[in-house]
Amino acid sequence: MPPTAIPPMATRRRVLGWLGAGVALPVLSACGSGDAEAKTYPVHYSEAEWRKRLTPAQFYILREEGTERPYSSPLNKEHREGTFLCAADGHPLYSSKTKFDSHTGWPSFWKPLPGAVGTSTDFKLGYPRTEVHCARCGGHLGHVFNDGPPPTGKRYCMNGAAMTFRPA
């Protein structure tokens, strides 16, 4: 091989390296971009006021987009007829008729009430997930996935501490 020729392996490595960078760049640039989707909600308070209104666990989940430990919520075992409400502002979110046991450790639903929730894209784990939030206060509730039961095929996987339950 002439001294100026590039060995075939070096060319393949270079191409694969550029391909990898091309795939990683959009993901990395999206990390932490939740502010781009920030909006004003009808119910809003200062951080200090939210801290007064919510328990530490509720604040962590609803206002800091945290996640509770699986199987830690009493709402997993809630099977009465009624409505699941946002713990921050009492907004009705889900009917008990749409609740199902997803065996994931979090209360799961196949459909929210009309106009109850909003969604945004979350890149916190390095790949896009659909975050679910209260349509009235913007509080983080959980995520929605495409592996739920009929008729929607959706699994709204919610943090129990982000909700309360009102029996019918």
134 flagged as catalytic: no
Strand order across the 129-134 sheet? 99-100, 108-109, 155-158, 140-145, 129-134, 117-122
Token duo for residue 80: 């009465």
Planar angle of CA 19, 22, 27, nearest 5 degrees: 135
Token duo for residue 120: 């945004």
Q: Which residues are catalytic?
A: 157
